[in-house]
């Protein structure tokens, strides 16, 4: 029995249709996408991959490269690093991509720096790693450091100066305490009652509100009414 290979026999093949792309590799009118992982993509296949990926929840937010999709070759972990490359898929698909990318950032609860107005994704670190700042009358409060301008602001109300005494900030704390992110697409879900079995309305994933992972038989027995 022949062994199954996880690499292409030659780097001149499109990794989806397996057609030889040597003849068009240097053509401006028909460019080839190279993900720098050894797997090439002809533009027709790339367009279909992006179109299909957008409608089947294959895109996700990458901490370094934003809303993107991975290389289609099995076992390859490379991703499209520059979001402008999605324009190669065509104007209609690119417009759909930008719209869905914006929705993904909103669902991910992107942080907007009050100093420079740049938005970025911030994942709360462990309690030992959270920076704190002394606030008159309120003691220490966790802070976020903007990766762009390096200024800090309150991690609770996300304003500077801090407005944590406001009712709005208190509501935000309650919202963060009663919501979880879908393990597949990161969309926030609020649980107001019922069992722990959640079906994400954004991507359709069935997951557990308690362990924040895919719904399993263990969740059925151990987390149903937790």
Is 15 within the bounds of a domain?
Answer: no
Find the distance separating the first CA and the last CA of the chain, reported in whole Å: 50
Report which DSSP code applies to 5.
P
Domain that holds residue 194: 182-222
**E strand or H helix at 98:** helix 91-107
Domain endpoint, select from 107, 140, 167: 107
Is 17 within the bounds of a domain?
Answer: no
Contact between 52 and 43 under an 8 Å Cβ cutoff? The reply is: no
94 and 71 in a common domain:
yes
For the chain, what is the domain count? 3
pTM: 0.48
Q: Is the pLDDT of residue 10 over 60?
A: no
**Structure confidence by residue, pLDDT tens digits, 12-63:** 788 888 887 765 554 445 678 888 888 889 899 999 999 999 988 888 878 7
Is 137 within the bounds of a domain?
Answer: yes
123 and 102 in a common domain:
no
103 and 120 in a common domain:
no
Cα separation, 81 vs 61, in Å, equals 11
**pLDDT at residue 3 in the model:** 36
Is 198 within the bounds of a domain?
Answer: yes
Is 89 within the bounds of a domain?
Answer: yes
Is 6 within the bounds of a domain?
Answer: no
157 and 206 in a common domain:
no
**Structure confidence by residue, pLDDT tens digits, 152-162:** 988 877 778 78
**Structure confidence by residue, pLDDT tens digits, 78-96:** 999 888 899 999 999 999 9
């Amino acid at each position: 029995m022949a062994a199954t290979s996880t690499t292409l026999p030659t780097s001149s093949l499109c990794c989806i249709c397996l057609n030889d792309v040597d003849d068009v590799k240097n053509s401006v009118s028909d460019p080839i996408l190279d993900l720098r992982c050894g797997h090439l993509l002809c533009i027709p296949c790339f367009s279909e991959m992006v179109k299909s990926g957008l409608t089947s929840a294959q895109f996700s937010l990458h901490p370094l490269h934003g809303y993107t999709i991975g290389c289609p070759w099995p076992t390859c972990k490379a991703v499209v690093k520059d979001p402008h490359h999605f324009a190669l898929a065509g104007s209609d698909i690119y417009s759909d991509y930008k719209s869905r990318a914006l929705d993904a950032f909103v669902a991910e609860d992107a942080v907007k720096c009050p100093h420079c107005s740049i938005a970025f994704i911030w994942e709360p670190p462990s309690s030992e790693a959270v920076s704190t700042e002394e606030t008159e009358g309120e003691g220490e409060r966790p802070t976020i450091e903007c990766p762009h301008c390096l200024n800090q602001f309150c991690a609770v109300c996300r304003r500077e100066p801090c407005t944590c005494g406001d009712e709005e900030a208190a509501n935000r704390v309650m919202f963060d305490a009663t919501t979880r992110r879908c393990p597949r697409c990161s969309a926030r879900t609020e649980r107001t009652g019922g069992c722990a079995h959640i079906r994400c309305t954004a991507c359709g994933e069935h997951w557990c509100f308690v362990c924040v992972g895919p719904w399993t038989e263990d969740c059925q027995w151990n987390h149903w009414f937790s």
